[in-house]
Amino acid sequence: MTQLNQPATRAKWLIALSVFTLAALGYLLSAYVPPDIENSRVDVHGDRVRYWLLVGHIGFGAVATAAGLAQFWPALRRRRPALHRWTGRAYFFAGIFPSSILLIPVAAMSESGLSNMAGLYAQTVLWVWTGVAGLRAARARRYADHREWMIRNYAVTLAALTSRLWGGAMALIVFAQADSRTYQGNTVAMIHDIASSGLWLSLLFNLIAVEVHLQRRKSGAGEPAPAGSGRRRRPSRASSPV
């Protein structure tokens, strides 16, 4: 068993994840609750349709972020299985799916360059793909696979928050080169690079970290029986959905 899977260590990681997620989510929502177009961190140029698409995407994304975080706490699965299932449904149908749909027009109206637009579309595809894979696994009662897909899916969900951290780091690097031949004092180009690199790095490192964790957990638990061995893995009660 890996160190990360030990209860005490896992609890510490969950607490750290919860503190970061709730703090970052609170900061993100502070500009949009209550809704006021003048407080928007994205300049929508007075376009109320664009603003409400953005607010809807952020609002449903906030539901996904909070509901997904709750799914990681083992006590919810053990003591409140019905609440766990309803929280999971909220994560899917009041969180990632409506938020990802609204992300399509939000990305299309992005003014942070084609690289940032491509990153938003990539996030949408990854969000829906991993979400559908997790949902299908749950309905087929392949709960171990379901948990793995939902961990990947939540890594994509968190990219909206961790991209702010990467964006801050990239801002230091980019603005240090403001007068270089690369930017030549072009502030717009610098902002575009900060936004796009922060998003792409967030998606990349979130998914790499998750895959490393999943592979370490598999190694610690032992490999499943090889194909054709006559043994078939069965979902156990302990492998309930995330």
pLDDT in tens, 147-163: 999 999 999 999 999 99
Q: Is the pLDDT of residue 37 over 70?
A: yes
Residue 14 is predicted with a pLDDT of: 86
What mean pLDDT comes out for the span 56-85? 89
Q: Which two tokens stand for residue 153?
A: 């899916």
Q: Is the pLDDT of residue 115 over 50?
A: yes
Residue 5 is predicted with a pLDDT of: 52
| Overall pTM surpassing 0.75 (yes/no) | yes
Sign of the C-alpha dihedral computed for residues 164, 165, 166 and 170 taken in this order: positive
Q: Is the pLDDT of residue 223 over 90?
A: no
Residue 221 is predicted with a pLDDT of: 61
Residue 222 is predicted with a pLDDT of: 54
Confidence of residue 219 (pLDDT cuts 50, 70, 90): confident
What mean pLDDT comes out for the span 47-66? 96
Q: In one letter, which amino acid is 41? A: R
Q: Is the pLDDT of residue 47 over 50?
A: yes
Q: Is the pLDDT of residue 77 over 90?
A: no
3-state SS of the chain is CCHHHCHHHHHHHHHHHHHHHHHHHHHHHCCCCCCCHHHCCCCCCCCHHHHHHHHHHHHHHHHHHHHHHHHCCHHHHHHCHHHHHHHHHHHHHHHHHHHHHHHHHHHHCCCCCHHHHHHHHHHHHHHHHHHHHHHHHHHCCCHHHHHHHHHHHHHHHHHHHHHHHHHHHHHHHHHCCCCCCCCCCCHHHHHHHHHHHHHHHHHHHHHHHHHHHHHHHHHHHCCCCCCCCCCCCCCCHHHCCC
Residue 240 is predicted with a pLDDT of: 43
